[in-house]
A and B are shown apart, each in its own frame.
Chain A
Amino acid sequence: MKVALFYDRIRYEEKSLAKALSEAGVKLELQDAKRLELRPEEQLDFDISLIRCVSHFRGLYLAAFLNSVGMETVNRFEVLHVAGDKLLCSLALYRSGVPAPEFSVAFTPESALRCVESIGYPAVLKPVVGSWGRLVSLVGDSLSAKAVLEHRETLGGPLHRIYYVQRYVAKPRRDIRVIVVGDCVVAAAYRYAPEDDWRTNVARGGKMVALEPSEELCDIALRAAEAVGGGVLGVDVLEGPEGLLVNEVNPTVEFRGISAATGVDVAMYVAEYVLGVVRC
């Protein structure tokens, strides 16, 4: 069996995945997405692809190409498309009845401000595409909301004009990251926000502490993963006053922090999953 691992930079995750796949006995081909020239009429010489691009759009369009020419990918294009966009993800969770924070969307700063006022302060404004907490803003009053919206307007790029508004969930200074691989929860950990931030992203200094997932946590994470199409996913869960809520689902999940915190060899589970997809 031949597996292609597509990357644009080799991080801990890609190194671990390469090692796990090689140890599983597959013939592994590492492919730098930045050097690709893809033509639909050319035959691809592998059985399945693992999409691990750090650039969301690079991975998204690569998956679109590969799936279109009949190549299976982990994750599939539709999953990257839905989970990689916070609005599409929230809509998928809503359609599937997965508990999640209240959200709304607007297409002008004026309408966005009305959405914020209606959802109530503090509110969260997020770009629909982006990660690591980048530009995710907690606005406490109309002055700060207006300032964020004004900045968003001047940032350029059509996606900055899609205004996603989310209700702030009063929670402990932490959230929960759950790694779902296929239909299994393989690891879960709390992510504690650093002293000087409200965001829990590890990229912002968040610290991970292992946790034993409850049945309720596993259930909500698996339902969220299924709602976006399934595969290898990082589900972020908030502990709200009335129960667990799924905040986001990440389709190109990083697992260095959670592997270190829990001791779980996430890469091995992913490798087994990839082989299972080919065998099915």
Chain B
Amino acid sequence: VVDVEVKCLECGAVIPLPDDVMVGEIITCPDCGQDYEVWDLNGEEAVIRPAELEGEDWGE
């Protein structure tokens, strides 16, 4: 991955990406708490999108 960080789509804060980041992982904005799903790591910039909200059927 090229990027080591992304910008929060909500508040603009910098969100660091973990070293072993994977597509599908959830990252949280350290400033506003918004959760994002890492959507694409193939391009020059990492793509994130707001994570799905917890559903009633979520769990084990």
Q: Measuring CB to CB, which residues of chain A are less than 8 angstroms from any residue of chain B? A: 7-11, 14-15, 18, 30, 32, 34, 54-58, 127, 129-132, 134, 157, 203, 234, 250-254
Contacts and interface: CB of A to CB of B under 8 A. Distances in A.
Contacts of B56: 127, 129-130, 134, 157
Contacts of B60: 131-132, 234, 250-254
Nearest to B39: A32
A30 B24 contact: yes
B23 A10 contact: yes
10 contacts: A10-B23, A11-B26, A54-B59, A55-B57, A55-B58, A129-B56, A130-B59, A131-B58, A203-B59, A252-B59
Interface string B23-60: 11110000000000110000000000001100111111
Size class of B's contact patch?
Answer: 10 to 19
Given A8-B52, A9-B37, A9-B51, A32 B59 contact: no
A56 B55 CA distance: 9
A254 B38 CA distance: 21
B9 interface: no
Residue among A9, A203, A234, A253 with max Cβ neighbours from chain B (10 Å): A9
Task: Describe B's contact surface by its main secondary structure.
Answer: loop
A227 B55 CA distance: 28
A5 to B, nearest CB: 10
Nearest to B58: A54
A132 B24 contact: no
Contacts of A11: 26
Nearest to B22: A10
B20 interface: yes
A67 B26 CA distance: 29
Contact of B57 (A9, A57, A253): A57
A130 B57 contact: yes
Contacts of B37: 9
Residue among B38, B51, B58 with max Cβ neighbours from chain A (10 Å): B58
A56 B24 contact: no
A234 B23 CA distance: 26
Nearest to A133: B59
Contacts of A14: 24
A235 B16 CA distance: 37
Contact of A56 (B20, B26, B51, B58): B58
B59 A56 contact: yes
Contacts of B20: 15
B18 to A, nearest CB: 10
Contacts of A131: 57-60
A254 B59 CA distance: 8
Contact of B26 (A9, A34, A57, A132): A9
Nearest to B24: A10
